[in-house]
Amino acid sequence: MKTNRIIFLILALTVVTLIAYISVASFSGGNLSQFEGKLEEMDFYRNENNTGPVLRIYTIKIIDADREMMLEYAKQMPHTKYGRTLIFFFSSAIKEVVKVGPREPYFDSVHRPYLVASFLKTPMSEERFNYFGDD
């Protein structure tokens, strides 16, 4: 009788510990609010196709960010299976909002000199980060 109680207590303690660990891990992860004041979303495009490939395109102005922060931000952006997510990072020197559309090159070419980096998440979730800024 006493061994059953000990086994029950060990199992109960294990379950409670596991639930606590999962809860802490779930709520302590990063989210997009950590980038407030460092990156600013200028424009966003999403096609209306809900049954096929979804295309998401973002233009982001860099206020106070480095290469690693841009990559971390890009990895946290929404992505749909078999869809593409494109993120274009622009220098803070750009004064106007960069609008995006569904066709390449996705934004007006007059803004290309301000392009610092781009990120692509492919339909098979492969990530490609291209940094064009000075190191």
| 123 in the same domain as 64 | yes
| 26 in the same domain as 47 | no
| 49 in the same domain as 115 | yes
| 14 in the same domain as 41 | no
pLDDT at 29: 63
**What pLDDT band is residue 76 in, cutting at 50, 70 and 90?**
confident
Average predicted confidence (pLDDT) for the chain: 88
Count of domains observed in the chain: 2
| 66 in the same domain as 19 | no
Q: Does the pLDDT value for residue 90 go beyond 90?
A: yes
Q: In this predicted model, which residue has the larger pLDDT, 29 or 15?
A: 15
CA 47/CA 103 separation, integer angstroms? 11
Omega prior to 78 cis, within 30 of 0: no
Antiparallel, parallel or unpaired: β 55-62 and 84-90: parallel
Task: Give percent of the chain above pLDDT 90.
Answer: 51
| 94 in the same domain as 75 | yes
Domain that holds residue 3: 1-30
User: Which two three-digit tokens encode residue 47?
Assistant: 């096609």
| 36 in the same domain as 25 | no
CA 58/CA 32 separation, integer angstroms? 14
pLDDT at 11: 93
| 74 in the same domain as 55 | yes
| 24 in the same domain as 55 | no
| 54 in the same domain as 1 | no
Overall pTM > 0.85: no
